[in-house]
Structure 1
């Protein structure tokens, strides 16, 4: 309990520091904030500029501006989008479910495919199976996401008509069907990375004395892999999966653009293109929160899996 509270407090401090950095960077970017807030269609009279400065406290020092923003952010008020006039929180809440579903789907594919492939290759080094898996991993690692996405759309969407060409679908089953190609595209390169990491870890663990003792006892291959190899190889893999989770939540830009998905990444690209400062600021902070939470989740899983870490954490 004490370890968990300490990690949460550390994450909160890190998020606060990141919010200061994000606010300062946006404040120092070229261009006047009042002109950006007025937009291209609004007038630029001195009265209009003075009104917008007063409304958004632009005449005050940077520290005061950040304090006022932090006060509103604590109440989940991040302002309104310059582009649409919609509140930032409502715009993000409409897009967030698609990104979360896509991320969870892609992560499930990575775990279900990459980990078994890595374990099989790590226990059968030098065999035809190992060489075949290594070849597949190399090809998957070198395949660009945009090329894989376009190819998958053409083959499975246009020619075979197995999957929809665009959209996220409605309901769990329909969304699962619509996001199958995007999730596979997003997961392909990461599957290669995690499979390679799992193979290297399994190869090292497989040479340990306790693995030889387990085989001498007459345990089956599935028992040896499930009870000993997988558990003792899990920490590096879990750490890598934590990084993958953070990447999926914040790095789905190419996939969302390729498959015309209305997610967080495409919203961020649009906000940057239109200099939508309130939207960019909130999305950047949300991305930082995702990274911190994924790191915290990874540490908690590692503590659960490793008794040595558990004793240190709860000592």
Structure 2
């Protein structure tokens, strides 16, 4: 993980310098400036230093928890992230709750009941999976915020209750695609488990159907569901950028969109590196939880190493 994060930091830092334009052009706002003024800006942000020097200086500061100073906001990037990260984390938590509850419920109903219920879930999830988050954001905003006036159309509110109210539509917009994906994965995993011999044996012994589903079907499907849940969390970290911009939510996603537009290198680099680190952390947690959910994984690994 350390080596991967080091390589990612190099890519994150270097990729921005390949894009056209520079922070100096944004700071000048299209105005002409004397060579002395441009040189002062370059000196302030170390833009004239060799690439290797800039990267090593930035990496050393990051290891000390200093992400630099925002070119757009003229303040420390750490302070910007501290102000905006709670909003994004709350939005991700709300979305993840909706996805896990509804996705698991729909997948279970489709696998267990079959027939019309299964067909209805497949049709509904096909629609959900085929609807990108930014399209869902526009549709929900137009219907429930503008036309019906049930929810705010923008902002993130003040206080926890108001924030929950403001983030409801963004959470639904983010959850729509992911609910469809999780429901389909859950349905498929449970159908595979239902076809297993252990289920047939349990039923032949007179084990109640609810207990068969809970202990022998759903439990065996949890490994696949957990892996998908890790992918869902990783997807949310990226999808929030578009949805926060659509609803003008003052989170990290909107900050990244604005920082990219204005060539705010320190802010973009900090957020990108944090997203990479969170991706890695989520994958690590999933890998650690999988043997607890499905002991066969730990057993297989032990036999392979032996």
Q: What TM-score does the superposition give when structure 2 sets the normalisation length? A: 0.90
The equivalent of 2:184 in structure 1 is 196
The aligned counterpart of 1:209 is: 197
User: Cα RMSD over matched residues?
Assistant: 2.3
Q: 1:140·1:192 contact (CA, 8 Å) conserved in 2?
A: yes
SS in 2 for 1:252: helix
Alpha-carbon shift at residue 160 of structure 1 (Å): 4.0
- The Cα shift of 1:158 comes to 3.9
Task: Please list every run of 5 or more consecutive structure 2 residues that lacks an aligned counterpart in the other structure.
Answer: none
The equivalent position to 1:136 in structure 2, one of 110, 124, 127, is 124
Larger displacement relative to structure 2 (135-144 or 108-117): 135-144
| CA distance in structure 2 between the aligned counterparts of 1:241 and 1:305, rounded to whole angstroms | 13
CA distance in 2: counterparts of 1:129 and 1:215, whole angstroms: 23
The residue aligned with 1:299 is: 287
Task: Work out the number of aligned pairs and report it.
Answer: 303
On the 8 A contact 1:100/1:249 being kept in 2, the answer is no
> Are 2:223 and 1:235 equivalent residues in the alignment?
yes
Give the Cα–Cα distance (whole angstroms) in 1 for the partners of residues 202 and 48 of structure 2: 72
1:232-278 Cα shifts (integer Å, max 9, x gaps): 01112111111110111122123212222111111111111111111
Residue 67 of structure 1 is aligned with which of 41, 56, 60?
Answer: 56
CA-CA distance at 1:18 after TM superposition: 0.3
- When the two structures are superposed, what TM-score results if normalisation uses the length of structure 1? 0.88
Q: 1:105 aligns with which of 87, 94, 115?
A: 94
Q: Does 2:290 match 1:290?
A: no
SS of 2:163 mapped into structure 1 = helix
Aligned to 1:27: 17
- Partner of 1:227, secondary structure, is helix
Give, in angstroms, the shift of residue 223 of structure 1.
1.5
Query: Where does residue 3 of structure 1 map in the other structure?
Result: none
Q: CA deviation at 1:191?
A: 0.7
Q: What is the alpha-carbon distance in structure 2 between the residues aligned to residue 222 and residue 200 of structure 1?
A: 19
